[in-house]
Each structure stands twice: as structure tokens, then as C-alpha cells.
């Protein structure tokens, strides 16, 4: 079995994807609330990894396991962990944002604060 059962998405492709409204798209940000206060992108649901016990039990009822699910964090490490976990929960179309919001701010939108 592959250890990487999810794919990666470049920040430029994320911007294009976000520009196409779709009800079949789920956006998850696993950073902490204080990080979101500094920089965030619209339409991302915040599921901080530090609060995993509080939200993990409801993931199957809150999200569609067959919808396209894109996960972001600061640099792409925590989101990769979340992607792996989602795949283990039966999610079938999971993508990790390469470079996270840091890369998004550097390449796509300089208005997004960097920290």
C-alpha cells in the first residue's frame, strides 16, 4: 500500500480551483485559530489539529468523503498528516496544498499576510 494515498495541489492550481464555485469542493485549514487570525483564505473550514479529539468523531457526518477535499496549513506538513488521516477514514479525493498558505501568499496573493 502506498504511504501517499492523496495527491498534492500547487497553490496556483488551488487559486484556479477556488475561482470555480462548486458544491463538490471542501476546503479545510488545520492551522490554529491564532494563525487564522493572521492569515486565512475564504471558504476554508477550520479544523485545528490540536483540537482533533473535539472534531474527529463528527468528520464523517460534517464532510462528504467522496467530495474533492483540499487541506491547507502553514507549510504543508500538518495538512499532509490530515490528508493521510482522511484517506484512512475513507475519503477518496484528498489533496494537500503544497507549501501551504505561506506559498500561497508568496506566489498567488501578496495581500495575504506572511508569518
Residues labelled as active-site residues: 73
Residue given cell 501568499 in the structure block: 105
Query: What is the spatial distance between Cα 17 and Cα 44, in angstroms, rounded to a whole number?
Result: 13
3-state secondary structure 15-43: HHHHCCCCCCEEEEECCCHHHHHHCCCCC
What nine digits make up the cell of 80? 499532509
Amino acid at each position: 500500500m502506498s504511504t501517499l494515498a492523496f495527491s498534492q495541489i500547487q497553490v496556483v492550481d488551488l487559486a484556479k480551483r477556488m475561482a470555480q464555485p462548486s458544491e463538490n469542493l471542501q476546503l479545510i485549514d488545520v492551522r490554529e485559530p491564532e494563525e487564522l487570525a493572521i492569515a486565512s483564505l475564504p471558504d476554508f473550514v477550520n479544523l485545528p489539529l490540536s483540537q482533533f479529539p473535539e472534531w474527529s468523531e463528527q468528520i464523517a457526518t460534517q464532510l462528504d468523503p467522496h467530495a474533492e477535499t483540499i487541506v491547507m496549513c502553514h507549510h504543508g506538513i500538518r495538512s499532509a498528516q490530515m490528508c493521510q488521516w482522511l484517506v484512512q477514514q475513507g475519503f477518496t479525493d484528498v489533496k494537500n496544498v503544497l507549501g501551504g498558505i505561506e506559498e500561497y501568499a508568496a506566489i498567488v496573493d501578496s495581500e495575504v499576510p506572511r508569518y
